[in-house]
Structure 1
């Protein structure tokens, strides 16, 4: 069996990928991890950053003795996976991203972080606040939110995946986005696809941003199909 690593999104944890891991476990050795500060892992003194999450991924691969792996990255996890491939291409066989945001600017970061206010989350979506508290216990979920917001503001000032960086990524990549995603546009996804030398673009019908709203079996099938079919270079 080949290795397949699943990377979670912002405010997520390895637990959010459990249904997908189960659906893929018949064909791959599936691995998941909690990024630093997520899923109960200790909150770092340093800020959250894509580079921190790249280092988390490298550490996991080293601990498990994995020299090279396929990667599925949801949202922020896809951003980290692509950054890893640019810096350490020998570690990555292929990448499938879903709902990864590429259009980072001060304006878009300001829009995204408006939603990342713990007090407003508690007030307006208390069920989500409870979910976050459980997901990141025993850490303070509010600090996870604050650190995530700060990371997004930094990305707005200095995006990691510039056109120049994406153009350096030679591994096969499938960039997927839902047609009903209200956080990631088809246009920004198309832009990223056009920068990547060895990529495929997929727009999933009737699909919104939250991972829990995506049909797991359908997504698993798309991942399997991608891994087993070579990408035609752009």
Structure 2
């Protein structure tokens, strides 16, 4: 398998480290249809899974390869991928599910809420679409996708991860402390109001429960890295070089488990570079997906 390297001397851009070229994978097209909204076809609905029904939005050509974009903690599918969707939906049928207890997806009926529960929801969603499926996951959503990849690698046509920790580390505790609902309402009231609007379909105070659940730490249970050696799908790892959530060594360990991995490091980038440095992530993600799809 040939190797390639793409480096940039411009510190304002990202850099792709040496990796192996992803091999082509066959795709299964989604069958949903939508009406044009804002120049693009968008549909929404609810998908039953083994864990909890998920609200989802679909955008892009009906007969295009499916791409599932998973959001991070305290977010929604549409919100966390908003600056990537217009480009991705040109050639992919983009799925934007809200994970359980976020946006329009109801809180789970059972008490257990953690990495295993979220992974069950993601696994059920991918099975409903018809694998193998392209998946892009940010933070918590990417963490859930990794758990699925460790136990069901055949579900993936490719996997792109942005700001995903594979195990607990001290920096996570400090990061999560920012998301105490009372602290957020006092120190960042505009952000608190935005979160309240984002999760309003679940109730006026739903945003507080979202914060409590997502900052509890249970959603970052350690990933079985050894099991990921069975993942034959191409793997893209994206991180900001100033992201406090993802230690450099965790991505390095991930890369040793995959024969088809590559990494994009975004200079001067924080945690959510798919939003804050979208102009760098966008072409790299599209290029990775296009090569993976063959």
TM-score, normalised on structure 2?
0.69
- State the alpha-carbon separation in 1 of the partners of residues 113 and 268 from structure 2: 32
- 1:49 and 2:114 matched: yes
Could you tell me how far 1:108 is from its partner in structure 2?
4.4
- State the alpha-carbon separation in 2 of the partners of residues 191 and 79 from structure 1: 15
| SS of the residue 1:183 aligns to | coil
Cα separation, partners in 2 of 1:109 and 1:143, compared to 1, 3 Å: same
Q: Which has the higher helix share?
A: 1
- The equivalent of 2:257 in structure 1 is 195
- State the alpha-carbon separation in 2 of the partners of residues 83 and 52 from structure 1: 10
- The equivalent of 1:124 in structure 2 is 187
- 1:163 and 2:225 matched: yes
Superposed CA offset, 1:128-167 (max 9, x none): 11111111113311111111122x1574xx51x1332333
- 1:21 and 2:85 matched: yes
Larger radius of gyration between Structure 1 and Structure 2? 2
- State the alpha-carbon separation in 1 of the partners of residues 219 and 106 from structure 2: 22
- The equivalent of 2:124 in structure 1 is 59
| SS of the residue 2:176 aligns to | helix
| SS of the residue 2:230 aligns to | coil
| SS of the residue 1:86 aligns to | helix
- The equivalent of 2:33 in structure 1 is none
| SS of the residue 1:229 aligns to | helix
- State the alpha-carbon separation in 2 of the partners of residues 203 and 78 from structure 1: 17
- The equivalent of 1:149 in structure 2 is 215
Could you tell me how far 1:177 is from its partner in structure 2?
0.7
Where do 5+ consecutive residues of structure 2 fail to align? 1-63
- The equivalent of 2:144 in structure 1 is 80
Contact persistence 2:273–2:281 (CA under 8 A) = no
- The equivalent of 2:52 in structure 1 is none
How many residue pairs were aligned? 224
| SS of the residue 2:215 aligns to | helix
- State the alpha-carbon separation in 1 of the partners of residues 98 and 66 from structure 2: 17
Superposed CA offset, 1:95-145 (max 9, x none): 01111112414x444333322211001111111111111111133111111
- State the alpha-carbon separation in 1 of the partners of residues 215 and 190 from structure 2: 20
- State the alpha-carbon separation in 2 of the partners of residues 40 and 131 from structure 1: 15
Cα separation, partners in 2 of 1:58 and 1:166, compared to 1, 3 Å: closer
- State the alpha-carbon separation in 1 of the partners of residues 264 and 278 from structure 2: 16
Where do 5+ consecutive residues of structure 1 fail to align? none
Q: Which has the higher strand share?
A: 2
Worse overlay, 78-87 or 24-33: 78-87
| SS of the residue 2:83 aligns to | helix
- 1:222 and 2:284 matched: yes
- 1:110 and 2:144 matched: no
Contact persistence 2:76–2:98 (CA under 8 A) = yes
Worse overlay, 190-199 or 176-185: 190-199
Contact persistence 1:110–1:153 (CA under 8 A) = no
Contact persistence 2:163–2:238 (CA under 8 A) = yes
- RMSD over aligned CA atoms reads 2.2
Cα separation, partners in 2 of 1:182 and 1:110, compared to 1, 3 Å: closer
Superposed CA offset, 1:150-204 (max 9, x none): 2x1574xx51x13323333332101111112233233332232223343112212
Contact persistence 1:170–1:197 (CA under 8 A) = yes
